[in-house]
Amino acid sequence: MFLFKLPARTERVRIQYHDGAAAAHYADLYLNPGPEGRFFRERLTLVQKVLAACPGGDLLDAGCGPGILVRTLLETRPRDFRITVLDQSLAMVEHCTATVQDVGRILPAVGQLEAMPFADFTFDTTLVMGALEYSDLRMAVREISRVTRPGGFIIATMLNPLSPYRIAEWFCYWPVLRLVGLIEKVFGVSSRQRHGAHLTGIRAVPAFRLRQLMAQAGMCATETVYFHLNSAVPPFDRHRRTNQTCDNAQKGKVATRGMRRFIGTAYLVVAKRELSRGLDAVEGDRFINTGESASHRPLIRGLGVARYQT
């Protein structure tokens, strides 16, 4: 018999960023000198480089978070994009709106990735950065396809569940922190001093599975890039010297193939909304276009991104 009942996954996801303090803390992580900060900064830089090849138009940032990327886009390309932001957390949407209010205008919306409050074929570019892990993935991918115009671009990131880093973090490091926290609670250690790790509700899938779901929903994946290459697993990556060594050795580098992609703690997929595929893509359809025609040429090529290839 369990001594306590775990909250449902939807509740675990909701409570993480339900107030302004949580949203502000998330924004502060971009400045963190540790491994979390390096991850967020590398992801932001990579997405910016991919977006540099997008011509502009109507852009949706689905799972916008505190608005760091949106502000960057408004500052660097103020006339190129008409930006709509969506997040399931009202606190995140409010923080995002406040973050960009002095540099430009956005259209904010609160809603779920699985049921977005937008008409079909609304956006030229749909960006989903760090949000798919918290959704019903199949439903979210179909919604992303639905709201993206035929020929439009989809840019999505996902934590890499096959990387040694994530395996160590999720199945060793976090459980140990939670166990230590429970022991400290028994011995009366104050909540501010106790160890612990949030129950996140994260469900990540390998890149081949995400590409498969995209194909079923009418999207053609043109490029997959693994980033935040990290050979030091938690808690060793928390050591200042180890973190600095990893930062100096791997900063800005990505992998597209070969064994080095498995040390990427996350990956990014660029896809294009198929011109000939409607919203009635059938369940179980295994269509995957691996060609590289002119209309499906990878966006990342030629952007000067240092990458590992073997």
Residue-level pLDDT at 275: 85
Give the mean model confidence (pLDDT) for residues 18-38.
Answer: 91
pLDDT tens sequence across 55-95: 999 999 999 999 999 999 999 999 999 999 999 999 999 99
- pLDDT attached to residue 8: 84
> Cα-flanking dihedrals φ and ψ of residue 287, to 5°?
-60, 125
Q: Give the pLDDT confidence of 238-283 residue by residue, as tens digits.
A: 775 555 555 544 566 888 878 889 899 999 999 999 986 555 543 4
Q: What is the 3-state secondary structure (H, E, C) of 180-224?
A: HHHHHHHCCCCCCCCCCCCCCCCCCCCHHHHHHHHHHCCEEEEEE
Percent of the chain with pLDDT over 90: 65
Q: Where are the beta strands (DSSP E) in 26-79?
A: 57-62
Could you give the CA distance from residue 269 to residue 211 in angstroms, rounded to a whole number? 8
Q: What is the pTM of this model?
A: 0.85
Per CATH, the number for 9-308 is 3.40.50.150
